[in-house]
């Protein structure tokens, strides 16, 4: 008890000291905290009641666009990541030399943020939702391919050995030995990334890549708080509905219906 308590106290003090250093280093205006909170409540007050300024139709369509962007990106990434993920797996491509660039490419695609990808694609394909779709696709491509490679490498070896003993070639042993094992998990991951895409898609509009973020950032810029509140409520509603549907689909999938 004593030793564990001592250790806890030491860690607590270290965290406290580092926190104080961080606040000092960043020059956090802690005195501005009080007035800021007051101002925040003022803003919250100005959000009531939420209204749409007669543009509810436009807002709802931009939400549909957001969901469409997320879905299109999920489908594209889900299809494209499949062969890439297989090629990145040691079971399928034993040569480390061939696999390494692919794995690193996936890592880079993942570690660049969606907003940055969106800026790049706005440059390439112009303003609009397509740039957002491509940005989401790049991120998901990296993540899904990596996850698939790992699932394949962790799949049980038994079926593959059986097939090879029966004279199957490499392609056949992958097709009938590994794919049936990894497909359900892969589909479930793709669905999960659909949920995550919806969240990301809501903000891509800030850099002009389509979706409801276009209006959200615009209304924030002109401090139109009532319409901001409407947009945030619409986002909340959509995210909740999509999460519920996708969770239901994933559960059904896991139960194998």
Partner 1 sequence: MRWAAGLAIVAGSFWVSEVSPERLWTGLPSMGRYVAGTLPARGELAGWMWGWKRWLALLWDTILIAYLGTLLGSLAGLFLSFFAARNVTPGRWVGVAARRILELARTVPELVFALIFVIAFGLGPLAGVLALALHAMGAIGKLCSDLLEHTQPGPMDGLRASGANWWEAMRYGAAPQILPGFLSYSLFRFEVNVRASSVIGFIGVGGIGQELYVAIRQFVYQDISAIVVLIVLAVAAIDQLSEWARRRIAA
CB of 159 to partner 1, least distance (A): 28
Of residues 186 and 215, the one with the C-beta less far from partner 1: 215
CB of 238 to partner 1, least distance (A): 10
Q: At what angle do helices 213-221 and 56-87 cross, to 10 degrees?
A: 130
Chain residues 106-165 in contact with partner 1, contact rule CB under 8 A? 107-108, 111-113, 115-116, 119-121, 123-126, 128-130, 132-134
**Cα 127–133–136 angle (5° rounding)?**
120
Query: What is the x/- site pattern for partner 1, positions 38-57, by CB under 8 A?
Result: -xx--x--------------
Of residues 75 and 253, the one with the C-beta less far from partner 1: 75
Of residues 143 and 173, the one with the C-beta less far from partner 1: 143
Q: Is residue 33 near partner 1 by the rule CB under 8 A? A: yes
Interacting residue with partner 1 among 60, 68, 87, 93 (CB under 8 A) = 68
Of residues 40 and 157, the one with the C-beta less far from partner 1: 40
Of residues 156 and 240, the one with the C-beta less far from partner 1: 240
Q: Is residue 253 near partner 1 by the rule CB under 8 A? A: no
Chain positions contacting partner 1, by CB under 8 A: 15, 18-19, 22-23, 25-29, 32-33, 36-37, 39-40, 43, 64-65, 67-69, 71-72, 75-76, 107-108, 111-113, 115-116, 119-121, 123-126, 128-130, 132-134, 199-200, 202-203, 206, 210, 216-217, 220, 223, 228, 232, 235-236, 239-240
């Amino acid at each position: 008890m004593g030793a564990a308590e001592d250790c806890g106290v030491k860690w607590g003090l270290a965290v406290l000291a580092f926190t104080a250093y961080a606040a000092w280093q960043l020059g956090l205006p802690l005195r501005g905290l009080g007035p800021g909170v007051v101002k925040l409540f003022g803003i919250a007050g100005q959000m009531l009641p939420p209204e749409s300024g007669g543009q509810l139709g436009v807002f709802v369509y931009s939400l549909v666009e957001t969901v469409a962007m997320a879905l299109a990106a999920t489908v594209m990434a889900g299809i494209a990541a499949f062969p890439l993920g297989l090629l990145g797996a040691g079971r399928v491509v034993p040569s480390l030399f061939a696999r390494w660039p692919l794995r690193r490419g996936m890592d880079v695609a993942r570690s660049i943020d969606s907003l940055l990808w969106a800026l790049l694609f706005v440059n390439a394909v112009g303003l609009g939702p397509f740039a957002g779709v491509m940005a989401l696709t790049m991120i998901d491509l990296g993540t899904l391919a990596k996850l698939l490679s790992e699932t394949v490498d962790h799949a049980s070896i038994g079926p593959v050995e059986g097939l090879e003993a029966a004279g199957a070639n490499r392609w056949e042993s992958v097709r009938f030995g590994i794919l049936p094992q990894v497909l359900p998990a892969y589909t479930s991951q793709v669905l999960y990334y659909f949920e995550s895409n919806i969240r990301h898609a809501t903000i891509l509009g800030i850099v002009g890549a389509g979706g409801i973020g276009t209006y959200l950032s615009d209304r924030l810029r002109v401090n139109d708080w009532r319409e901001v509140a409407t947009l945030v409520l619409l986002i909340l509603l959509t995210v909740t509905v999509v999460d519920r549907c996708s969770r239901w689909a994933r559960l059904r999938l896991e139960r194998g219906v």
